[in-house]
Amino acid sequence: MSDSAREEFLRRYATSPIHVPRLERLLAVYGDDGDDEVFCSRFIAWDRACPDGEAARIVTEILSAGDRSGRIPRLSDDAVHGTIRWMSDVISLPVAQRARCLNEWLHSSNRQVVDRFIEFLTAGGALDAVQFNAGAEELAVRLTGWEAFT
């Protein structure tokens, strides 16, 4: 008997037993009509296609933590896929800086920053690696200034 996508999702991305409730809250937001199997299946597929074995796990930690109030915003599936690509592909930044930027820009109190970043992440799937990285660097300059990345 095979595990459900939800069970596999929780097994793959829960870094500790205490992390399971956070992931369950994430899945409650991302499930369609109470069914999170489709989202879990897609997320796992994006992870498997990703060259970085830690990118999807880091994304689950950032998304499941929510914003400053603890609310988990619902991004489009394309934007979530873009967050995994951001963590994997923006190799001009160290992993810790990518994670910090992802967290800050998704949960910023500045709605313009959030909207611009989500727009980039959503459109990122149509870009090749060179275009994606160039766009990521250009966005970084616009959102925070280059000095934050050197």
Closest by CA position to 78, among listed 49, 31, 48, 119:
119
Q: What's the pLDDT at 3?
A: 66
Q: What's the pLDDT at 1?
A: 35
How large is the C-alpha radius of gyration of the chain? 15
Maximum Cα–Cα distance across the chain: 53
**Residues of the chain below pLDDT 50:** 1, 146-150
By CB atoms closer than 10 A (0-12, 13-18, 19+), residue 61 is middle
| 8-25 pLDDT tens trace | 999 999 988 888 999 999
| In the chain, where the domains are located | 5-149
